[in-house]
Amino acid sequence: MGYENLAQRAASGDYELIEPLDWYIIEMLHDEGEMFAGLYPLGDTAETIAKKFTQVKGGLPVTVLSNRLRNLHAQNLVVRVEKAPGTAGKSIWQRTATGKKLYLAWKENLNGNSG
């Protein structure tokens, strides 16, 4: 499935997600536009996010995570931010308001708190 098709489906509320992996990725990210002291965007590179997956010895393979981030990005659930300090020129990732909203709904449902 191409990224354009993913974007079109997501625009109508039909998301293509791998659960629970994609939710855990979204959970780890800073909110879109979140800044450190108003100076630069907060976020992590794909390599840093992959290492946070303690469920997998040595972390999640970066190739797997990068693929999922591209899919989530195509669906407007995460954004890539260019040129953050301390990343050696690599992009960082943040979750969009839509990504956060959907993640919180999933978490609430998972916890049995859906109303």
Torsion, Cα 79 82 84 86, to 10 degrees, reads 110
CATH label of the domain that carries residue 86: 1.10.10.10
> Pick the residue with more confidence: 79 or 12?
79
Percentage, residues of the chain above pLDDT 90 = 64
Answering whether pTM is above 0.75, one says yes
- pLDDT the model gives residue 44: 93
Determine the pLDDT at residue 60: 92
Residue 87 structural domain: 3-108
pLDDT at 114 over 80: no
**22 assigned to some structural domain:** yes
Lookup: tokens for 97: 């308001």
User: Cα dihedral sign for 90, 96, 69, 21?
Assistant: positive
- Domain presence at residue 114: no
Segment 33-69, tens digit of pLDDT? 999 998 889 999 999 999 999 888 888 999 999 999 9
How far apart CA 72 and CA 23 sit, in angstroms, is: 10
Domains of the chain: total: 1
For 8-11, the CB contacts below 8 A with 24+ separation are 9/75, 10/74, 10/75, 10/76, 10/77, 11/76
